[in-house]
Amino acid sequence: MKSTRKFSVVLLDIAFLFASIVIAVVLKANFERLFFLLENGLTFIILMLGLKLLMMKLLMLYDSLWEHASVDELIRITSFGILSHLLVALMDLYFESPFSYKSLLLISFFDVVLIGGFRLSYRVIRRLKNRAYTIGQNYKNILIIGAGRTGGMMARHLLSEPQRFGYPKAFIDDDPRKEGTLVNGIKVMGNRYDILSVVKRQRIDEIILAIPTVPMQDRKEILEECKRTGAKVKTVPSLEEMMIDNVDIKKIRDVEIEDLLGRDEITLNMEGIKDYLEGKIVLVTGGGGSIGSELCRQIVRFAPKKLIILDINENSVYDLTNELRSRGLGGVELDTVITSVRDRKELFRVFNDLRPQVVFHAAAHKHVPLMERSPREAIKNNVFGTLNLVDASINYGTERFVLISTDKAVNPTSVMGVSKRIAEMIVQSVESHKTVFTAVRFGNVLGSNGSVIPLFKKQIQEGGPVTVTHKDMVRYFMTIPEASRLMLQAGGLAKGGDVFVLDMGEPVRILNLAEDLIRLSGLEPHKDIEIKFTGLRLGEKLYEELLTSEESVESKTQHEKIFIGKPNKVEYPFLLKRLEMLKELVHGEDQEALLDMFESMVTSYQRDNRQINKAFLDNGCVVPSPEMQQWNVVMT
């Protein structure tokens, strides 16, 4: 089918090229002259036609899609006219031409007019046909935000197949010079503050944000306006996700909650990270998880000698290794280990065989309610798994060890939080002349396995209800790439025994998050989708903090989004004795004694979360921490 179409186009082009000769000669002379040329200059005419067809092939005029013929196509056709004219003029030096120079010039002009006009007319006719079809048709009405290059390309794609993608009814653009103008025949009807009125007036069903270069704060403000409309909102990927030249209707995606955070892209000190990763053997535990896998993707960019992915979940490791290999490793060796950090003997064998120089410890049990039901498993994995890795790192001369921690370790009300706080105490207190130990603490990660966002999306797709534990619950949020990059940066800043705290921005109310996701799906919360409050679960707090009551911000680091929290250290020999006592209780049957030990080791631990949650509500839902106020002052 494709070859038949190309052959038909070639035949049409031959007809147009011959028609150019006829028109030019008749206009310049008469039909008598034309018949004379056909009798005496046929060989030259055949050579000229063959040369022009070859030039069209070289300029890829047979590889374009006519429905997308545009200025670029016209430029290629014009280039064909100029170049073919010059080549025919050169051919005249070797073959006696029956045409005058002016006739050849006129022939080239009509080549461009006929061939270019035919191709562009195909698009015009298709456009008119599609517009005729839209009359009386029930297509989706689309509003495009951004009347620039990307928006224009989106409009052309939509106009080519409105029955599949919808019909563009209007543009919105903040450039006042564009207001009232037409882009691909579609009117620019105002700026971001006119979105709501345009949606109502034009009966818009779907909004496409087509500005990949927009600053994140502006992006957030535009999306806030879109949320008010009730229309479904989609966006082209950011420049980080794609190159503008590759804009395609298929790359449009739903607006994610990350787009509403309004956080600008993180700028990394690439040299600082490269200094400790390039040419090194790097181990990532929990490498198949959300954070661990993104760490692996980022680490590969810094050209380590070898990347070792360690995880107990073989399926996630399999998927990640396939993904990394398909993207290209750039000479980085890739190795995998399927084991648990709880298996001390196996870990020591891995360290002995592979000798990792940098370790990122992301393996952990993280689900708060589940760990409340299984406190021993939380301690075995999060505490003694960390201790196993720390001992192996010291024993085999690892240069740098980074523990991935959580804000739930701060004034914990859960077993999971306690276990992560004890893990922090281990890396803060251990003394080693060879290994630099550090911890990086941050809040919730949007889109990670088991996080609230995938759950909300699933519930919305199923028609609701969306379940929220409490209307006043707030959390700090980060995107997975954002958290991973800051972890890599913090690893390069570590001096030993530090806890790095990441700037998480402002805390987000979970109820608002759920409502935003519903609106971005083109639905109305509490009307189309019910929101059901289920009550706090075991161990949950209404809020999280980033510093304990014992900690304070020591200083800013070289990176504006990373701060150093300086806690009171525990003597490591004393901590090891407490850990031995904890191990006995973990393997025992006395649950009450185990919880008492938690309180003894982490003095800020509160078994009953009711008092701390009541204080939060009584305080107007403001995090009641003077240290956090100090931290916010430092940030500003």
Q: pLDDT-based confidence at 383, cuts 50/70/90?
A: very high
Model confidence at 621, in pLDDT bands (50, 70, 90)? low
Provide the 10 A C-beta neighbour count for residue 258.
Answer: 18
pTM: 0.68
**Position with higher pLDDT, 33 vs 552:** 33
The residue behind tokens 């015009």 is 124
Helix (H) or strand (E) holding 14: helix 2-28
Specify whether 420 is catalytic: no
Domain harbouring 310, CATH code: 3.40.50.720
pLDDT of residue 636: 22
User: Does 63 lie in the same domain as 202?
Assistant: no
In a domain, 263, yes or no: no
Give the pLDDT of residue 527.
87
Task: Report if residue 322 sits inside a domain.
Answer: yes
* Confidence class for position 11, pLDDT limits 50, 70, 90: confident
Specify the higher pLDDT residue, 428 or 54: 428
Q: Do 313 and 182 lie in a common domain?
A: no
Average pLDDT over residues 37-65: 72
Judge if 152 and 235 occupy the same domain.
Answer: yes
Contact 275, 352 (CB under 8 A): no
The answer on 314 and 170 residing in a single domain is no
Q: Do residue 382 and residue 488 come from a single domain?
A: yes
CA distance 441 to 408: 9
Q: Residue 164 CB: number of other CB atoms within 10 A?
A: 11
As a whole number of angstroms, the distance between CA 216 and CA 483 comes to 17
The kind and range of the H/E element at 360 are: strand 358-361
Q: Is residue 261 part of a domain?
A: no
Whether 237 and 290 map to the same domain: the answer is no
Q: How confident is the model at residue 589 (pLDDT cuts 50, 70, 90)?
A: confident
Least confident among 232-246, 265-279, 501-515:
232-246
In tens, the pLDDT along 475-509 reads: 877 778 778 887 888 888 878 777 877 777 777 88
Report the pLDDT value the prediction gives residue 553, as an integer from 0 to 100: 54
Query: Please, what is the average pLDDT of the chain?
Result: 80
Q: Is 603 inside any structural domain?
A: yes
pLDDT at 579: 93
First to last CA, the chain: 64
More confident position, 113 or 461: 461
Selected residue with higher pLDDT from 219 and 207: 207
Whether residue 20 contacts residue 12, with contact meaning beta carbons closer than 8 Å, is answered with no
Confidence category of residue 465, pLDDT binned at 50, 70, 90 = very high
User: What is the model's pLDDT at position 574?
Assistant: 92
User: Both 449 and 592 in a single domain?
Assistant: yes
Q: What pLDDT score was predicted for residue 551?
A: 57
pLDDT-based confidence at residue 110 (cuts at 50, 70, 90):
confident
- Domain match, 439 and 559 both: yes
Between 592 and 79, the more confident residue is 592
Mean pLDDT, rounded, for 127-133: 57
Return the pLDDT at 355.
96
Report, in this order, helix, strand and coil percent for the chain, each rounded to 5.
Answer: 50, 15, 35
Same domain, 209 and 112: no
Q: How many CA atoms lie within 13 A of 579 on its CB side?
A: 24
Predicted local confidence at residue 618, as pLDDT: 65
Report the pLDDT value the prediction gives residue 171, as an integer from 0 to 100: 93
pLDDT for position 242: 47
Last residue of a domain, one of 115, 132, 149: 132
Pair 58, 160 in one domain: no
Decide if 277 is inside a domain: yes
Domain count, the chain: 3
Supply the range of the domain harboring residue 23.
Answer: 2-132
Could you tell me if 354 and 485 lie in one domain? yes
Q: Mind listing the pLDDT tens digit for each residue in 414-425?
A: 899 999 999 999
* Domain-terminating residue out of 114, 132, 150: 132
pLDDT more than 70, % of the chain: 79
- Summarised one tens digit per residue, pLDDT across range 398-446 is 999 999 998 888 888 889 999 999 999 999 888 888 899 998 887 777 7
Chain segment 540-581, per-residue pLDDT in tens: 778 777 665 555 555 555 556 677 776 667 888 999 999 999
Q: Is residue 264 part of a domain?
A: no
Q: Which residues fall within 8 angstroms of residue 80, CB to CB, at 6 or more apart?
A: 52, 55, 56, 59, 61, 111, 112, 115
**For 512-543, how does the pLDDT look when each residue is reduced to its tens digit (9 = 90+)?**
888 888 887 778 888 889 999 988 877 777 87
Residue 13: pLDDT above 90? no
In a domain, 458, yes or no: yes
pLDDT score at 244: 39
- What tokens appear for 235 in the block? 């966006």
Tokens of 122: 């195909």
Question: Which residue in 280, 366, 380, 408 is the catalytic one?
Answer: 408
| Exposure of 611 in the CB half-sphere (CA atoms within 13 A) | 7
Give the per-residue SS3 of 223-278: HHHHHCCCCEEEECCCCCCCCHHHCCHHHCEECCHHHHCCCCCCCCCHHHHHHHHC
Q: Is residue 260 part of a domain?
A: no
Is 5 a residue whose pLDDT tops 90? no
pLDDT score, position 376: 93
Can you name the residues that pair with 565 across neighbouring β-strands? 499, 553
CA distance 116 to 77: 6
262 CB burial (10 A radius; 0-12, 13-18, 19+): middle
Say yes or no: 330 and 245 in one domain. Answer: no
Where among 132, 152, 181 does a domain terminate? 132
pLDDT at 361 over 60: yes
